Each structure stands twice: as structure tokens, then as C-alpha cells.
């Protein structure tokens, strides 16, 4: 029973650690995949060019990889822009909430003496 609780605790800790870093880890995995993909494509291109040097089919390798690169860069650009915008929205909401709290505090009275007249206070 203790072994089961310990295992669940460690699984929970690993899950919480992974949950916080999911975006970064997936981003690194995608980058590693793209690097290995482009490397293998380059090796295929070189092999093909040595077999048929007068062929123009090698241009298709270049165009395809160029388009994949543009798509990857576009995704990264929008990923970072959306993340930046999301952070700005969160900060704006936090400042709005603090302003609302300050306004509520200004409306609140600190003492009931504010409602009494001078004569009533002296009694």
C-alpha cells in the first residue's frame, strides 16, 4: 500500500513537472525533428545529384525544403506573437482588477463616524 502511494506521488510530481514545461519540450522536439529531417533530405539530395548531375529534379528538393522552412518559421512567429499577446492580456486584466479593487476600497468607509454629525460625535 505504501509502495502504491509512493508510486502515485512520484507520478504526480513527474506530471506536474512535465505539465509546466510541455510547450517548451514540444518545441524542442519539433526542432530536433526538423533538423534531422533537413539533414536526411540534404543527404538524399547530394546522393541524387551525384547519380544524375544534369537533372533539374534537385530543384524540387530545394523548393520543398524552402517551403517547409517558411511554414516552420511562420508557425514559430505566430506562436511567439500569440504568447506575447496572451501575456499582455493577462497583465492588462490584472491591472484592471487591481484598479477595480482600489475603487471599491475608496468607496468603502473606514469608520462609521463618517456618517455622524459633529454634534452626534461629541455626545
C-alpha to C-alpha distance for 5 and 114, rounded to whole angstroms: 58
Q: At what angle do helices 22-51 and 58-107 cross, to 10 degrees?
A: 170
pLDDT tens sequence across 32-61: 888 888 888 888 878 877 887 777 777 777
C-alpha to C-alpha distance for 49 and 69, rounded to whole angstroms: 21
Residues written for the chain: 123
pLDDT tens sequence across 59-107: 777 788 788 888 888 888 887 888 788 888 888 877 777 766 766 666 6
Quickly tell me which residue has 499577446 as its cell.
85
Model pTM? 0.43
Tell whether the model's pLDDT for residue 116 goes beyond 70.
no
* Alpha-carbon 86 to chain mean position: 9
Are 25 and 18 contacting, i.e. CB atoms less than 8 angstroms apart?
Answer: yes
- Reported confidence tier of residue 120, pLDDT bands at 50, 70, 90: low
Amino acid at each position: 500500500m505504501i509502495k502504491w502511494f509512493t508510486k502515485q506521488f512520484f507520478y504526480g510530481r513527474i506530471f506536474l513537472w512535465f505539465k509546466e514545461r510541455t510547450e517548451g519540450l514540444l518545441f524542442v522536439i519539433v526542432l530536433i525533428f526538423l533538423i534531422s529531417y533537413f539533414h536526411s533530405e540534404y543527404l538524399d539530395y547530394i546522393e541524387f545529384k551525384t547519380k544524375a548531375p544534369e537533372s533539374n529534379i534537385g530543384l524540387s528538393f530545394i523548393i520543398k525544403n524552402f517551403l517547409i522552412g517558411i511554414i516552420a518559421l511562420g508557425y514559430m512567429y505566430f506562436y511567439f506573437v500569440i504568447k506575447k499577446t496572451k501575456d499582455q492580456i493577462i497583465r492588462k486584466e490584472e491591472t484592471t482588477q487591481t484598479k477595480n479593487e482600489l475603487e471599491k476600497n475608496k468607496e468603502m468607509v473606514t469608520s462609521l463616524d463618517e456618517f455622524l454629525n459633529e454634534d452626534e460625535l461629541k455626545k
